[in-house]
Amino acid sequence: MKLPEFKNKKLFDQVFIHRSYLNETKDMLESNERLEFLGDSILSLVVSAHIFDKYKTSKEGQLTSIRSVLTNTETLYEISKELGLGELLKLSRGEEAGGGRSNKTILANTLEALIGGIYLDQGIDAAKKFIEENIISRTEKIIEAQGLKDPKSSLQEKIQETHRESPVYKVIKEEGPDHDKSYTIGVYIDEKLLAEGVGKSKQEAEKSAARNALQKMLK
């Protein structure tokens, strides 16, 4: 997988500037947060339009589920890893020491910033092409692997085949400022941790944890 070439080198560099890096440089730089905001909106629009056209008989709830699995933190993180985005990040020494280059939320956010950067540098058609080649192309594979059903419901059904108790979700870690929170949530049965999940909201993190627990059970 290859990154697109930018006409504006300064804009390309901004894609990879994490907010923590600004505390350790005297250069007048801007973090990638605004690009992330823009890229998130473009990604949602392009994916929504695609699945609206492709799945003509699907209801709104099903379309929302498909969009969710294509644009959630876990999916974007995996694509970011394949693109090698972590190697290009500019982080503070503290963030670096804390494993920032492999942090799921940071890498997912950076992919969204890259999409925003492509749009500003080359226009909507280039951004759409990038999304189609790197994200939409995985639609069938992701749907097959994760299913359209809510992973929390699937996990509940799976666990209740052998247990009376329902899975319990607990917040393990909460990071970031109020406008850009990241949650790590664990799913437990009988006080035993089954899996963890990460997301920009508690609901997304819970679904991620349930999905990861299901994948473990299928191994």
Q: Which amino acid is at 170?
A: K
Question: What value, to the nearest 5°, has the Cα angle with vertex 48 and ends 44 and 52?
Answer: 180
Taking residue 108's Cβ as centre, other Cβ atoms within 10 Å add up to 27
* Pairing verdict, β 168-175 and 192-199: unpaired
> Rounded to whole angstroms, how far apart are CA atoms 71 and 74?
8
Burial of 18 per CB tally in 10 Å (0-12, 13-18, 19+): buried
- Paired with 127 in beta bridges are none
Positions marked active-site: 40, 112
- Per-residue CA distances from 211 to 3, 129, 173 (Å): 29, 28, 18
What phi and psi, each to the nearest 5 degrees, are found at residue 188? -125, 150
Q: Closest Cα partner for 69 from 116, 152, 139, 128?
A: 139
The whole-angstrom distance between residue 71's C-alpha and the CA centroid of its chain comes to 6
